[in-house]
Every structure is written in structure tokens, then in C-alpha cells.
Amino acid sequence: MSTSKTLFLLLLGTALSGPALADPPKTQNGHFIDSNGATLYTYDKDTGGKSACTDKCAQNWPPALAGRDDTASGDWTFVESHDGKRQWAYKGKPLYLFAKDAKPGDTTGDGAGGVWHLAKP
């Protein structure tokens, strides 16, 4: 079999088997970060696996949205964000970013208003 035909069959097999699975958020320095290194947070006012952060709250604390190819596994699940998108959740708690975290690794939102906390394993 020619090299080009083998490559074509490998690519065809990959396309037919579906997209590669993306990983859930990672742990760094004892808390969760997204794929860009941005810190993830939880909100005390969320209940029953639903986001209570809407409107102005969601502008300051955008949901940690899942990619199209991301898959839930174990403690990692999805909830519906305030605007109907797939939002990452850990053990049923929706996860958020903080708009004032300027660079990867910033944790300026921890403790904000007494209701925002670093998302931790």
C-alpha cells in the first residue's frame, strides 16, 4: 500500500471515529485553571447545579465554558450557563473566570464579596 493511501486511511479513520476528546480543567497550585491558565472560581449562591450568576454578575464572572469537543467524566460535568451554553462544573458546582484577573495564575477574585472562592479539588 502506498504511503499516501495509508495516510488517507488513517485520516479517514480519525474523522469517522469522531473528534479528539479535550481534557477538563487542570490543577495548579492547589486550585483549578482552564486551558489558558486562568483561575477558576465557585460561587456560594449557586444551588442545585444551576448558575445564579447572570447579567452584571456574568460580565464580571464569566462562565468557564466547555469546548464543543469537551466531554464530562467523573466529577467533571456540565451545567447550563445563564445564556444557555455548556459551562464546566466540578462535583455539580458551576465554574467561573474573573474579569479582573489580568494574567494566567492571578487569583484576585478569591474571597470577593465573601461568596467567590478558588475552585479546588
> Confidence class of residue 23 from pLDDT cuts 50, 70 and 90?
low
The whole-chain average pLDDT of the chain stands at 84
Write the DSSP symbol of residue 28: E
Q: What is the Cα–Cα distance from 29 to 19, expressed in whole angstroms? A: 30
Residue 16 lies in a domain: no
For 79, the domain range is: 21-118
Residue 100 confidence (pLDDT):
97
pTM of whole model > 0.85? no
Whether the CB-CB separation of 84 and 117 falls below 8 Å is answered with no
Q: Give the H or E element holding residue 117.
A: strand 116-118
Whether the CB-CB separation of 104 and 45 falls below 8 Å is answered with no
Residue 6 lies in a domain: no
Look at 45 and 19; give whichever has higher pLDDT. 45
Average pLDDT over residues 83-105: 96
How many domains are there within the chain? 1
Residue 22 confidence (pLDDT):
53
Residue 12 lies in a domain: no
> Confidence class of residue 68 from pLDDT cuts 50, 70 and 90?
confident
